[in-house]
Amino acid sequence: MPTAPQPGPRQSPLTWTVVQQTQQSQRQPNGTFANGWTVTFQTGKGTQGSVFIPDNQYTPENVRQAIAAKVAVMAGVANLSG
């Protein structure tokens, strides 16, 4: 007797991959401009987002932390209902 097909692995919404890095300037809340990088990522569910990291903080660990925090918020928002 054949078995029912098993679903493939589920992609967690908390997984992500960097898909683009763009160097640019961004206006800060105090009105000055900061040079840095906009890092665009895609989640395991296919949603894209981005974070801005100033040049003086642009390290792999800081990028990981910023993206992880943004992805966590995006996952929470994606599950909202009223």
pLDDT tens-place string over residues 8-59 = 444 445 899 999 999 999 998 999 999 999 999 999 889 999 999 999 999 9
What DSSP line would sit under 14-34, residue for residue?
A: T-EEEEEEEEEEEE-TTS-EE
pTM exceeds 0.85: no
